[in-house]
Structure 1
């Protein structure tokens, strides 16, 4: 990676850890091998260091308190972990409030996510009982990660962002465009609509598993360039999506490809995508970094 621009920091904003030997992850059972196995911080430590990544954000892998407290326990002993995106029962506002008050005693908890893409209702985050739960996040300085895998999720997100204008929302995985099939619409138009909401940022992550088996970073360029054009680099960030990413590549190769797909941007834009957007969206401790 010596031929690439070397920034002051690099933050991997989307990393998972899970241990089905200790707790249940229902979707993993359906996936089977190789993902239905333990993936802990020790399994990715060397790859993170080799890639030059200086900070990571752990993101929930199941809708459970156990998963969130596992990530917090990792963060307490693994210095590279800068933030945790946990889970809370957003459809049960009183319980969610108690959970968030407990979580936020630990400053490493920076956001909340639910596996909304697995719910039968694509507009679940707009339900009345959920709106009360989501409204608890911004006053506590927490963001909301959202997963989109069908167009209805993106139309929902436009309305969600307008309903909660003071909430920082992070759209995961560039909303999973159909890169393998070279699909463009309605993804492109809907991404532009989402980007028009100033409180939404987006992650370049999970693109390798949305691509064909012989993917290269060039397959991603139209989608990434479209996102940067509409969001601006100040609302775009990178995430490895490890270990899901191992279904179609190794950590180093995927991270390198993500660096390559933004390498044509100027260094200020690359700084945004490689760490500044993450610092802002997740309110991470930016001590010692260039925050200009």
Structure 2
């Protein structure tokens, strides 16, 4: 029996909604509507059955937009939304959204915030307790420079399920100059006692144009070494991926770079870890 694969990280958006500050006409191919009908043939071609759709705008309105899509599309297994975690009503908002069966996690856009240490702010505490109470998870969208603060945050909330998006975004195009700080950060995060998860996603976007699986291999190997297959989950980061690759190319590269693993370990990366972590 073939076990269903899961894409743990993709996006849908409609620029006319007006709340994607980063999504501008200068981004060319990304500046259009991307919806479930656009992704389905790409998923079908590589036998990916369901997906987790992740927020791309820092608004509750966009979260509700994604939940509306999920309600009408069985292929969307879960939604990672956005909440103003530092707002006085954050805990109440989380309680409200938790009533939606496909609402699985929240993601503050940490990489875009002016304060790299924002995640350490004690004002977030009521919201994080609300996540834990409702059995919801936390996506950490970080660069290597955020590792120290994420460690403080994770140690403060040992019962919170945390996944690191995009392998903490190694600056692959910068080569050896950026390797060590990323590699050390991954080792530190993976060693935290609550067992953080990590997404095998976003690497193509951080690589130089014309990347190959061989170019990504040291990064995938390092993630495997420290997180292991049972704590890694594959994601496409589509359609952002289209800036420097395509769905089939990245899926094939990830499959190739994990092909030496046992079947059950590959199954973990391409489905089981996401199913367990997000309660799909």
Q: Which moved more, 1:19-28 or 1:136-145?
A: 19-28
Q: Give the alignment of 1:87-102 within 5 angstroms.
A: 87-92=82-87, 94-102=88-96
Does residue 215 in structure 1 map to residue 211 in structure 2?
A: yes
The structure that is helix-richer by fraction is: 2
Query: Using the alignment, how far apart are the partners of 1:254 and 1:50 within structure 2?
Result: 13
Tell me which of 13, 19, 31 is aligned to 2:14: 19
Residues 26-53 of structure 1: CA deviation (Å, up to 9, x unaligned): 1112753222221111111111111100
- Count of aligned positions: 277
Point out where structure 1 has 5 or more consecutive residues left out of the alignment: 1-5, 285-292
Contact conserved, 2:94 with 2:127, CA < 8 A, in 1? no
2:52 match: secondary structure: strand
Given the superposition, is the C-alpha separation of residues 106 and 45 from structure 1 closer, same or farther in structure 2, using an over 3 Å criterion?
same
Tell me which of 253, 257, 264 is aligned to 2:253: 257
Name the residue aligned to 2:271.
Answer: 275
Query: Using the alignment, how far apart are the partners of 2:234 and 2:153 within structure 1?
Result: 23
The ranges of structure 1 where at least 4 consecutive aligned residues each deviate by more than 6 angstroms after the TM superposition are none
Query: Using the alignment, how far apart are the partners of 1:176 and 1:117 within structure 2?
Result: 10
Does residue 104 in structure 1 map to residue 98 in structure 2?
A: yes
Tell me which of 26, 32, 35 is aligned to 1:37: 32
Does residue 119 in structure 1 map to residue 113 in structure 2?
A: yes
Name the residue aligned to 2:47.
Answer: 52
Contact conserved, 1:75 with 1:81, CA < 8 A, in 2? yes
Contact conserved, 1:125 with 1:131, CA < 8 A, in 2? no
Post-superposition offset of 1:7: 5.0
Post-superposition offset of 1:18: 0.6
Contact conserved, 1:117 with 1:147, CA < 8 A, in 2? yes
Contact conserved, 2:198 with 2:232, CA < 8 A, in 1? yes
Q: Give the alignment of 1:75-90 within 5 angstroms.
A: 75-90=70-85
Post-superposition offset of 1:182: 2.2
Contact conserved, 2:19 with 2:59, CA < 8 A, in 1? no
Tell me which of 124, 132, 135 is aligned to 1:138: 132
Post-superposition offset of 1:114: 1.1
Query: Using the alignment, how far apart are the partners of 2:35 and 2:174 within structure 1?
Result: 33
- TM-score, scaled relative to structure 2: 0.95
Point out where structure 2 has 5 or more consecutive residues left out of the alignment: none
Query: Using the alignment, how far apart are the partners of 2:114 and 2:274 within structure 1?
Result: 30
Name the residue aligned to 1:287.
Answer: none
Residues 81-138 of structure 1: CA deviation (Å, up to 9, x unaligned): 100000111001x411221122111110000001111001111111111233222211
Tell me which of 142, 162, 172 is aligned to 1:169: 162
Does residue 180 in structure 1 map to residue 173 in structure 2?
A: yes
Name the residue aligned to 2:150.
Answer: 157
- TM-score, scaled relative to structure 1: 0.91
Post-superposition offset of 1:211: 0.9
Name the residue aligned to 2:57.
Answer: 62
